[in-house]
């Protein structure tokens, strides 16, 4: 009896999520009103902002030198720049592969945020980490929508 109750509860949850997704996809205005919703356009914009932030941070780190210019950190920033650019491009042309690109971008952005946070109490690094976390969250949501 407990298994049947759990199964019914699970099915009800699935039906509820499906209904919400149908309503949101049928009405773009509804999706725009929700502060937690992500559209292809908003995710693309977030990716482009993150790409720009990481490009600026890369230049800053090269100039600053020391641990900021270590190869592992520099390569992580470059990976993030490319992942964000790729996802933004996939999203801008509504590629059917955008969800895979966004999932990958979220992973890379989280790694970049961690790398920036490891640089210590540096405002530029904190700002970059925050931008990367925002992008990772947006991309994660986009990847889960499809």
Q: Could you tell me the pLDDT band of residue 37, with boundaries at 50, 70 and 90? A: confident
What is d(CA 40, CA 90) in angstroms, rounded to the nearest whole number?
A: 9
Q: What is the pLDDT of residue 145?
A: 85
CA angle 19, 21, 26 (to 5 degrees): 95
Instruction: Kindly list the distances between the CA atom of residue 99 and the CA atoms of 45, 88, 106, 145, in Å, as whole numbers in the listed order.
Output: 16, 11, 10, 8
CATH classification of the domain holding 47: 1.20.1270.360
Please tell me the pTM assigned to this model.
Answer: 0.74
Domain identity same for 67 and 136: yes
Task: Identify the domain containing residue 111 by its residue range.
Answer: 38-145
Task: Name residue, tokens 């999932």.
Answer: 103
Domain identity same for 84 and 114: yes
What is the per-residue pLDDT across 46-101, written as a single tens digit (0 to 9) for each?
999 999 999 999 999 999 999 999 999 999 999 999 999 999 999 999 999 999 99
Q: Could you tell me the pLDDT band of residue 146, with boundaries at 50, 70 and 90? A: low
């Amino acid at each position: 009896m407990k298994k049947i109750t759990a199964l019914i509860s699970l099915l009800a949850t699935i039906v509820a999520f499906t209904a919400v997704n149908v309503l949101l996809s049928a009405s773009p205005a509804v999706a725009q009103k929700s502060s937690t919703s992500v559209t292809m356009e908003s995710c693309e914009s977030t990716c482009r902002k993150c790409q720009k932030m990481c490009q600026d941070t890369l230049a800053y780190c090269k100039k600053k030198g020391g641990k900021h210019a270590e190869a592992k950190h520099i390569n992580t920033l470059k990976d993030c720049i490319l992942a964000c650019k790729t996802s933004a491009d996939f999203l801008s042309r509504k590629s059917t592969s955008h969800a895979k690109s966004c999932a990958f971008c979220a992973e890379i952005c989280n790694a970049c945020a961690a790398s920036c946070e490891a640089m210590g109490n540096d405002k530029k690094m904190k700002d970059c980490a925050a931008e990367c976390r925002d992008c990772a969250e947006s991309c994660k949501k986009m990847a889960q929508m499809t």
